[in-house]
Structure 1
Amino acid sequence: MHGPVFGVLGPLQASVNGCRVAVPAGKQRILLATLLLGANEVVSLDELTERLWDDAPPRRPRAALHTYVTRLRQTLERHGRQAGGLIRTSAAGYLIEIGRTDLDLVRFRALVAEAKAAGRRGDLAAESAGLAEALSLWRGPVLPDVRSDSLHRDVVPSLTEERLRALDRRHEVDLALGRHDRLVGELRALTARHPLHEGFWRHLMLALYRCGRPAEALEAYGRASACLRDRLGVPPGREMRDLHAAILRGEPAAVRQGESRV
């Protein structure tokens, strides 16, 4: 027998005893997603109401919320009696109890923490491997199949930023390990998807330079600079400008940039 397993790092997923649970679209899906994003902590009635109904709550939101909690429990219990019992009631709201291995978001954060600990010990190879394992848990944008404006406005951006920070760190570590040749393709794709993220541009420039392709590194700087000026009206930051100047001068210091944080 397998316990319940959930996923929020992509479309919402739920399985019980190895069988996928079809969570109905609408309020049940929003409710489960909200509880999972605050796993093992009480989510207040006010927050749940906002997530489920945004700015148009029903006349009796607590009663309506209780109805949806009951329905969600029943949905989970169809695949195993223990699954519905994961959702607990408190005076302040509701919570879902999740083990470390039962939710991809919990596993992601634990793996990132373990990777950072390896980095602090000086084991960069283990840090890179741990970050790669953590990032492999992401299946796409967070919860595209959960229709809650407030959820995507207030919660999803910070989760996306957690992923970008982990990616940034893995690039720094891999550059320090001399893996620049492996990064160019990935970084080209990331700069196309996130053209305002200077860290990805800087790492792409550095990877290209270390691969003996300084002209392409300078071209990348030009594209980044144009994008930042066109969209934000600002020049590249100090680190990018310093790297650009070092590459123009062909200084050995350019080869070492990006390692100062490692």
Structure 2
Amino acid sequence: MDIDILGTLAVREKGVSITPTAPKPRQVLALLTLGADQVVHVDTLSEELWGAAPPRSARPTLQTYILQLRELITVALGSGEGEETRSAKDVLLTVPGGYLLKSGQGSSDVREFERLAGMGYRAMDAEEYPEAARLLREALALWNGPALADVQAGVHLQTQVKRLEESRLCALDQRIEADLKLGRHRELLAELTVLVSRYPTHESLCGQYMLALYRSGRRGEALDAYQRLRATLVRTLGLEPSTALGKLQRSILMAGPEGVPPAAGSGRLTAIG
């Protein structure tokens, strides 16, 4: 089974789509694929579809959605050459307490993203910045939009989507960090301008934007970026910027037009020199 989640939902068995068009069955399939090869309990599926107060007909309605998915799987299993020994119930199993979707040996964009990102993080730790940038760029290229962009999300899918988005932001942060280490500050400016607008309270992205601006000879704009972030944090969250970001701001402030202090910032923020 091939599963794509990082964008629109697309699930294929033997190359044939088993993704339903109706919203509720799509929700069920999305939750089953995120928990592929593990039991997804009936109560979890019910809460995803109807919240904390499911209708009295929830169980039989859920069983209908499972039947619809199995019908799609049956069509896909019968599409290949040769005799198919599996049935839909061998792919989407009924187990005590819930259901289990077997992914088999197929592909998963989430698994591939996590594999590439993990290799990229290890390359960063080893200070192999060209390799890290390449691997993280490949990982991020697997995203074709927000995760499960075309699926109506209940409480459980919302949590999973937030988790995946945080994973994407972590990979993006580290890819930009690798590019900064490689001196690609001017190339990053357009991308970072969009990102700090989209994530106005994200301190790491703001710090990277400040560095890219400063290294491109735009010291005043780097300081303005800090002040905008600070104003947003104070207004929306009642918080001041982190110590590391404040130290970066002071380093840029104290640096003359030509001078660069030996180090500025700590933690994940790169020195301005």
Normalised TM-score (structure 2): 0.84
Q: Residue 17 of structure 1: CA displacement?
A: 4.3
Q: 2:197 aligns with which of 192, 195, 202?
A: 192
Which amino acid in the other structure matches residue 218 of structure 1? L
Larger Cα Rg: Structure 1 or Structure 2?
A: 2
* Backbone CA RMSD of aligned residues: 2.3
Which amino acid in the other structure matches residue 49 of structure 1? S
- The question of whether the paired residues in 2 share the 8 Å contact of 1:210 and 1:255 is answered with no
Which amino acid in the other structure matches residue 233 of structure 1? G
* Runs of at least 5 residues in structure 1 that lack an aligned partner in the other structure: none
Distance 2:224 2:243 in 1: 18
- Count of residues in Structure 1 that have an aligned counterpart in Structure 2: 257
Deviations along 1:87-112, whole A, 9 cap, x unmatched?
23321322222357622111111111
Q: Which residue of 2 aligns with 1:23?
A: 20
Q: 1:125 aligns with which of 130, 140, 145?
A: 130
Identity within the alignment, %: 38
Which amino acid in the other structure matches residue 30 of structure 2? A
Q: Residue 80 of structure 1: CA displacement?
A: 3.1
> Does 1:201 find its partner at 2:206?
yes
Q: Which residue of 1 aligns with 2:181?
A: 176
Moved more, 231-240 or 97-106: 97-106
SS of aligned partner of 2:241: coil
Distance 1:77 1:122 in 2: 50
* Runs of at least 5 residues in structure 2 that lack an aligned partner in the other structure: 79-85
Distance 1:99 1:162 in 2: 25
Normalised TM-score (structure 1): 0.88
Which amino acid in the other structure matches residue 231 of structure 1? T
Deviations along 1:91-148, whole A, 9 cap, x unmatched?
1322222357622111111111222233344422112111111111111122232223
Which amino acid in the other structure matches residue 232 of structure 1? L
Q: 2:234 aligns with which of 223, 229, 232?
A: 229
Which amino acid in the other structure matches residue 124 of structure 1? Y
Q: Which residue of 2 aligns with 1:12?
A: 9
- The question of whether the paired residues in 1 share the 8 Å contact of 2:18 and 2:69 is answered with no
- The question of whether the paired residues in 1 share the 8 Å contact of 2:124 and 2:132 is answered with yes
- The question of whether the paired residues in 1 share the 8 Å contact of 2:31 and 2:157 is answered with no
